[in-house]
Structure 1
Amino acid sequence: MLTHLNRWAVILATLALCQSSMGQTTELLDVRQDTQIQGLANTLGIPNGVLPLDFSVAKYRVTYPMPYLGQTFDVTAAMFVPVDSEGNTVTCALPTHTYMHGTIFLREAGPSYAGFEGELGYLMAAGGTVTLMPDYLGLGGSEDVLHPYVHAESEAESGMSLLSAVVALQDGLGFSLNGQHFVSGYSQGGHASMAMAKRMQEDPDAGFPLAAAAPMSGPYDMSGTQLPMGMAQEEYSNPAYLAYTLLAWQQTYGNLFVDLSEIFQEPFASGLPAMFDGETPVEMINDYLAGPTADIVQPGALEGLMAEGHPFFLAAQDNDLYEWIPESPVQMYYCTLDEQVFYENALVAEAWMNDNGASAVTVIDGGPLNHGGCALLAILGGTVWINNQADLCETSGLEGIGRRDLSWQPAAGGVSIDGLKAGEAWTLFGLNGRILKQGYAPEGQMSLAVNAGLFVLRGAESGVIRIAVAE
């Protein structure tokens, strides 16, 4: 027998597509119950209580228009909407959390298709946010154009146009927004989320004020950190990224080179363009470009590209994203053994912003992890941080979450905790589930000495609170 949730999903699936007057469409892809989402969290090794998993979630593919180079393209995105146990959209107004995915080469790896990062959307939305994940132009269902890789303007536009589409779609899908708009992203998504956050602040007429942003392991300083450090390596870990950047920026700016053989030796100059077809995996491109950089590029080519005044260097400066002063909280995450996106990007951005008057910009050092090892820790940390600031919709009758009972604030040497009862047992966990500290609460406010990092505090009676401490 069908459950209420599955019966609702089948009815919507028969309708399949909903179209608004502005041209955006939605397609219901999946509905997962809260127990299934808890199973996903368990599979990923996420300790209980780190994320609020209060709702079932409906996943849609949104198709919507966005501008690029004077044309309008149809692009796709994943949208995750909280629903109750019977499949009804929730009655309270919801914040949005736009998550920008990392570098992908296959169109079908977009979050609204088969991409793993799309799975994380269920975990984010189950806490009570409408979670949005653009596939980006040239990826997902967008064909006939090369994805404009690490191009700040089009990255930001993919998110802003999606928010506009969701506003137009909300009434027809039965949910409403509360006006809080958060953004995060990892790797290329760190760059994209910083671009979108900057755009949200600088374009108030768009109607999407930035509540907070959590860019993670992103190349915010393309011209001064990411490209020079990558080009200086005798053998870069992902040479496909450089080719991706060159071809994408050539498409966007049109003046980086006349022929790719000016930069790459043969057979690479002739063979590379056909590999960026949205169907060739990154592993194949990296294997094609394997070996010392000196055997792949023309002598002096990289130095020429980064010469002051060269169109490529000017394009890199155009896509730097640290020279602005956030008025909303921004918390960046990085790991010190990142071999793909150098952690100095975050330090440069944090220093410039704070030196120039920012008051709510912080960084979190995730420790000596490589790019892949840093990913889930950073994404969880960013989501925890956003959830702590969002006005989340809560189900009735929840037990053990306790978000309204406990609160925390930074204090000298750690944090101060309010809401624990005198004598109540408490336990502090790391995000890996390891017990870090235990004790009994004093009367009134409790001081807790912790270093920078991401934690979960569980009271025996008062529930759980998630803590993110900046450096």
Structure 2
Amino acid sequence: MILNINRKQLTLILLAFFFLVTSCKKSDSPVEPEITPARGQVVSSTFNGTFSIPLLQAMVSSISGGEQFKNKILYDVDYYKLVYRTADIKGNIIVVSGAVFLPKGKNNLSLVSVQHGTQTKRINVGSVNALNATDGLVAAALGYFAVVPDYIGLGESMLVHPYHISKSSADPIIDIIRAGKEFAGKNNITLNGQIFLAGYSEGGYVTMAAQREIEQNYKSEFQLTAVAPMAGAYDLNLSAKKIFQGKTYNQPAYLAYFMVAYNDVYGWNKLDAFFNSPYAEKLPALFNGSKTTTEINSELTNDLSKLLNQNFVNGYLNGTETTLTAAFSSNSLLDWKPTAPMHLYHGDADEYVPYENSVQAKNYFLTRGVNVELVTIPGGTHGSAALPSIVAAIEWFGTLKLAKHYLAKY
């Protein structure tokens, strides 16, 4: 029998058959529901190797003053890159990165988030190379589940880094703690519930910003065990005035980093009001994420009279330049009352971040009824006080683990 089917009928039959087949496929293999991006979600994790105890001891010994600390290394350390989600300054969900360090063979772990110091080159972070996060490596070698955020604008993030902007400094730390917990759960790693925060230099500022944000807005989600901000600029106007009153500053990249970040976040578009030519014109290209602070310093000058617009400096110091003063005030951190125990660490010969930041923080918190301890590194410069501060902080954390009976069974 020959069917007499015209082209229109054939088309309808084929469409019906296609619909039937594809419908069957969908019912046989249901499509996974799309996950709504949210802060703290893990995007990916990648195992990048293991650091042995001898290698870690050699690494610590190579750091100035590190020889005396090498025998404190207890564990081999597994190293992972972690990509996760946080929010930008406008609240948009973005992807950022960091590192996770695990003490090999140890469980029932306390979590510590370790915040790194100033970096301008996007790839000079822990997610790219573990040696860019030696403080996280050391923490894990001492027995902690350590997470080290790269921050917004570094690592995977291509935005301008919001240098010393308090909210955008705190959010990636809150979210890497969330992501770290998710990572631990998926990898059968037991965390004991303790959460510590520590950081040096910019990391000191970021650490205090994160504590403030957590205790003001996330205290039902996180109970911080102890916090150690180290050598941070907690009062930005105090820091700026101390620096501007001098004739030279040997880290001009730090000053420029502030202005580039604030110019971007607040949309000022007036770098030429802060800096003299030819430096003002250079800054956007210098801070595109491709250069180190050393390379940026070589393009600037440490002579502040040549680097900075003196009308701006004079106005700032005499109080008539209010825009930057107000922005620095809104991002300074001495306006709250800490709940978790806090120890401050700072070298009293710090040439880049004035030691007075920590003295003033201690005194301010005392007026709020909180006795924060300030551990001073006698004669410590910004560089030489770093390792003693970090080791001392981790050891202080260890006494709290003992006090709360959270030490793992070795």
Same-fold call, TM cutoff 0.5: yes
**CA distances 1:38-80 after superposition (whole Å, capped 9, x unpaired):** 34344443436873x3332211111011111232221111111
- Which one of the candidate residues 372, 388, 391 is aligned to 1:380? 391
Check conservation: 2:98, 2:150, Cα contact below 8 A.
yes
CA distance 1:304–1:71, shift in 2 (3 Å): farther
Q: Return 383-392 or 362-371, whichever deviates more.
A: 383-392
Aligned to 1:190: 204
Structure 2 residue matching 1:107: 3-state secondary structure? coil
Q: CA deviation at 1:308?
A: 6.2
- Which one of the candidate residues 67, 76, 80 is aligned to 2:101? 80
Structure 2 residue matching 1:109: 3-state secondary structure? coil
Identical columns (%): 27
Structure 1 residue matching 2:225: 3-state secondary structure? strand
Matched, 1:231 2:244: yes
Aligned to 1:38: 57
CA distance 1:123–1:258, shift in 2 (3 Å): closer
Q: Give me the whole-angstrom Cα distance separating, in 1, the residues matched to 2:70 and 2:276.
A: 53
Q: Return 33-42 or 373-382, whichever deviates more.
A: 33-42
Q: Give me the whole-angstrom Cα distance separating, in 1, the residues matched to 2:67 and 2:302.
A: 38
Q: CA deviation at 1:372?
A: 0.8
Check conservation: 2:263, 2:269, Cα contact below 8 A.
no
Check conservation: 2:162, 2:265, Cα contact below 8 A.
yes
Q: CA deviation at 1:156?
A: 0.9
Check conservation: 1:55, 1:395, Cα contact below 8 A.
no
Q: CA deviation at 1:204?
A: 3.4
Matched, 1:347 2:366: no
- Which one of the candidate residues 230, 240, 264 is aligned to 2:275? 264
CA distance 1:291–1:326, shift in 2 (3 Å): closer
Q: Return 33-42 or 370-379, whichever deviates more.
A: 33-42
Matched, 1:163 2:184: no
**CA distances 1:72-104 after superposition (whole Å, capped 9, x unpaired):** 2211111111222xxxxx4x4211111100011
Matched, 1:248 2:267: no
TM-score, normalised on structure 1? 0.73
Aligned to 1:296: 307
Structure 1 residue matching 2:198: 3-state secondary structure? strand
- Which one of the candidate residues 56, 61, 69 is aligned to 2:81? 61
Aligned to 2:333: 321
Q: Give me the whole-angstrom Cα distance separating, in 2, the residues matched to 1:74 and 1:102.
A: 21
Q: Give me the whole-angstrom Cα distance separating, in 2, the residues matched to 1:188 and 1:282.
A: 13
Check conservation: 1:127, 1:392, Cα contact below 8 A.
no
Task: Give the structure with higher Rg (CA).
Answer: 2
1:251 aligned partner, one-letter code: D
Q: CA deviation at 1:354?
A: 0.8
Higher strand share: 1
Q: Give me the whole-angstrom Cα distance separating, in 2, the residues matched to 1:214 and 1:250.
A: 30
Higher helix share: 2
CA distance 1:378–1:308, shift in 2 (3 Å): farther
TM-score, normalised on structure 2? 0.84
Matched, 1:204 2:218: yes
Check conservation: 1:156, 1:192, Cα contact below 8 A.
yes
CA distance 1:238–1:363, shift in 2 (3 Å): same
**CA distances 1:183-233 after superposition (whole Å, capped 9, x unpaired):** 01000111001111112221235612111111111001112x111111111
Q: Return 308-317 or 163-172, whichever deviates more.
A: 308-317
Structure 2 regions of 5+ residues with no counterpart?
1-36
Q: CA deviation at 1:116?
A: 3.9
Q: Return 343-352 or 272-281, whichever deviates more.
A: 272-281
Using CA pairs below 8 Å that are at least 6 residues apart, which structure has the higher relative contact order?
2
Q: Give me the whole-angstrom Cα distance separating, in 2, the residues matched to 1:357 and 1:213.
A: 17
Q: CA deviation at 1:322?
A: 2.2
1:238 aligned partner, one-letter code: Q
**CA distances 1:245-296 after superposition (whole Å, capped 9, x unpaired):** 0110122222xx3432222121111111111011112122222221421122
Counterparts of 1:441-460 in structure 2 under 5 Å? none
Counterparts of 1:133-148 in structure 2 under 5 Å? 133-143=148-158, 145-148=159-162
